[in-house]
Amino acid sequence: MFNQRIKIRQLLESGTEGQEAVVMGWVRTFRNNQFIALNDGSTNQNLQIVAELGTLEDAFLKRITTGASLKAVGKLIPSPGKGQKWELKAEKVEILGDCDPEKYPLQPKKHSLEFLREIAHLRFRTNTFSAVFRVRHSLAFAIHQFYHERGFIYLHTPIITATDAEGAGETFRVTTLPFDGTPRRDDGSVNFTEDFFGRPTNLTVSGQLEGELAAMALSEIYTFGPTFRAENSNTARHLAEFWMIEPEMAFYDLEDNMNLAEEFIKYLIRFAIDNNREDLEFLAARLEEEEKQKPQSERSEWGLLEKLNFVLQNQFERITYTEAIDILLNSPAYKKKKFKYDVKWGIDLQSEHERWLVEKYFKKPVIVTNYPKQIKAFYMRQNDDGKTVAAMDILAPGIGEIVGGSQREERLEKLKERMREMHIPIKEMWWYLDTRRFGAVPHAGFGLGFERMVQFVTGMSNIRDAIAFPRTPKNAEF
C-alpha cells in the first residue's frame, strides 16, 4: 500500500522518539543540501527532514526544490533547532512530483493578497490560506453540529428556481435556449415555453421561501448552500457566488429569532477558538502586521483573538432602527460631515453607518430591529405602527451586516396586500401562500453569509480571501 503516511500535525503533536514514520508533502525550503522543510497542509508547522550529507546523489538533490512533492521515510528524533520539537532523520527520500523553480510562482518570500488571488489554484500552499481554509472547514462542521444538537432538519433547497426571493431582480438566468435564433413570440418577447423548464428560471438568491415550506411541517430546518447575486459590486464585502446558512423556525417570534442568531454566532466562534487555536494565532499575528501599515486613525482597537473573545463574553446590543438613526444623527461623524451617505429615517443603512454604530459607539455587535417596511422584503411581518416590519440585522465589527432576518408574515391577507404593493406575482406564488391558508403559525428565520463569518473569524479584510475561488464581476477564473 502506497499511503501509509502520518500527517505532520499528528506527528508533531503526539510523535515519540525513535518512531518509524512515513510522511508526504510539499517542499517549503531546502537548505545546505541537507535540511528539507516539508508541509502537508495539516498544519502551518513544517517538519524538518534531515538527509545526511552524501546519502543522496547530486542530480537528485537538484530536484528537491520549493514546491516539489516528496515522500520521506525515517525515524523521529528530537530537534536541536528552535521552534520545533521533532525532526525526521531520513532513511529514504522519494520525489513524487518535480517543480521547476524558474516557473513556480510561490517562492519562499512574502506575496501580496492581490497577487495570490491571481494564482488562487496555488494559494492554498501559503501559510495564510492554509490557515484560512482550515478555519473555514471547522466553521462549516460547527454549523451542522449546532443545528443537529438542537433537532433541526438539514434541507437542500433548489439551486435552479423560478422565484427571486428578495424581489431584487438581480439574478443569473438559467436557460438552454440558443443565443442566436432565440424563439420569440409575436410581440418580440422570448418564448420560454421552448426552454428546458418551459418558463424563465434563475440561480437561487436564497433558499428561504422553500425553507419556510418545510418549517411548516418539520418545525425547525436549516439550509446551507450556494447562493448567487448578479450585483455589479466590486467591493471587499460582496461576491456573486457565496454560501448562506438559512434556518427557518415555526413557533418563533422576532425575539426568539434574535436569541438563536446570537447563540449561533457565538457557538461558531467558540468552536474555532477551541479547535483552530494555532491557525487563529497565526492569523492574528498576520493581521497585526497588516494593521501597522494603516494610518493610526484606521487601525482596529482589538487584535483578532481579543475581538473574538470580546464577542463571546458580551451580550449583543439590541436597538431599533429608529434609535439607530437618532444615534447617527447625533454622532460627531454626522455633524462633521464624515459620512459619505446621508442619514435620515427611511434610508437603508450603509456599511459606514453600520460600522460606526458597532466600532465607534457600542464597540460590540449590534442587533438592529424594526426597519421601515419600504426598504425590506415582502415576506416580513408588518408591525402595528403600519410603518415598520419585524426585521433584524446583526452588525459585526469590521464587516457591518453579517446576519439578516425577520419574523415572517403569517397573516394571509396582510401578506397578499404587501405583495400587491411590491408587485410580487400572487398567482405564481400560490404554493407559498398555501402555507398561510393551511395551518399558518408564527414563524421566523434569518440568513448568515458564510464568507462574511469566515472573514470575521479569520480577520481577512477582503471577502475574496474567504472563499477558494471567488466569483466577482468580470472574474470567473479557475
Query: Is residue 335 in some structural domain?
Result: yes
Tell me what pLDDT residue 3 has. Answer: 83
pLDDT at residue 168, as a whole number: 55
Per-residue cell: 174: 438559467
Q: Convert the pLDDT of each residue in 266-284 to its tens digit.
A: 999 999 999 999 999 999 9
- From first to last of its 478 residues, the chain has per-residue pLDDT tens of 778 999 999 999 999 999 999 999 999 999 999 999 999 999 999 999 999 888 899 999 999 999 999 999 999 999 987 778 899 999 999 999 999 999 999 988 899 999 999 999 999 999 999 999 999 999 999 999 999 999 999 999 999 999 877 655 589 999 999 988 889 998 989 999 999 999 999 999 999 999 999 999 999 999 999 999 998 888 888 899 999 999 999 999 999 999 999 999 999 999 999 999 999 999 999 999 998 888 887 778 789 999 999 999 999 999 999 999 999 999 999 999 999 999 999 999 999 999 999 999 999 999 999 999 999 999 999 999 999 999 999 999 888 899 999 999 999 999 999 999 999 989 999 999 999 999 999 999 999 999 999 999 999 999 999 999 999 999 999 9
Which of 108, 133, 156 is a domain's end point? Answer: 108
73 in the same domain as 144: no
Q: Which residues pair with 268 in a beta bridge?
A: none
d(CA 296, CA 301): 10
Say if residue 162 is in the same domain as residue 298: yes
Does 340 reside within a domain?
yes
Judge whether 447 lies within some domain.
yes
Let me know: does 470 contact 451? Beta carbons within 8 Å.
Answer: no
Q: Are residues 98 and 133 in the same domain?
A: no
The closest alpha carbon to 411, from 381, 432, 384, 431, belongs to 381
| Number of structural domains found in the chain | 2
The reply to whether 140 and 284 lie within a common domain is yes
Residues 235 and 266 in one domain: yes
The model's pTM is 0.94
**What domain range is 161 assigned to?**
125-170+205-465
Residue 355 within a domain: yes
Residue type, 294: K
Determine the Cα–Cα distance for residues 265 and 298; give it in Å rounded to an integer.
26
Give me the pLDDT at residue 245, please: 98
Last residue in a domain, options 74, 108, 142: 108
Pair (137, 79) in one structural domain: no
pLDDT digits (tens, 9 = 90+) for 211-237: 999 999 999 999 999 999 998 888 888
Residues 69 and 154 in one domain: no
Residue 99 forms part of a structural domain: yes
For 220, phi then psi, to 5°, come to -140, 120
C-alpha cell at 4: 501509509
Q: Are residues 92 and 149 in the same domain?
A: no
Assigned domain for 213 exists: yes
Asked whether residue 194 is domain-assigned, the answer is: no
Q: Which amino acid is at 197?
A: F
- For residue 136, give the amino acid letter: R
Amino acid letter at 310? F
Does residue 139 sit in the same domain as residue 30? no
pLDDT for res 155: 98
- CB atoms closer than 10 angstroms to residue 137: 12
Looking at 150-276, list the stretches that DSSP marks H as alpha helix, in order from N- to C-terminal side: 208-218, 254-275
Cβ-count burial of 38 within 10 angstroms (0-12 exposed, 13-18 middle, 19+ buried)?
Answer: buried
Q: Which residues are 242's β-sheet partners?
A: 227
pLDDT in tens, 309-320: 999 999 999 999
**Residue 393 to residue 402: CA distance in whole angstroms:** 7
CATH number of the CATH domain containing 153: 3.30.930.10
User: Between β-strands 153-154 and 220-228, what pairing exists: parallel, antiparallel or unpaired?
Assistant: parallel
Cα end-to-end span (Å), the chain: 33
Q: Check: CB of residue 391 under 8 Å from CB of residue 380.
A: yes
Classify residue 64: in a domain, yes or no: yes
Instruction: From 61, 83, 108, give the residue that closes a domain.
Output: 108
Let me know whether 85 and 225 are in one domain. Answer: no
- Tell me: the pLDDT tens digits for 5-48? 999 999 999 999 999 999 999 999 999 999 999 999 999 999 99
Specify the CATH number for the domain of residue 98.
2.40.50.140
Cell of 299: 487601525
Q: How far is CA 226 from CA 234, 261, 433, in A?
A: 19, 20, 25
CA atoms of 132 and 140, how far apart (whole Å): 12
The CA angle 447-450-454, to the nearest 5 degrees, is: 140
> Are 49 and 154 in the same domain?
no
23 & 138 share domain: no
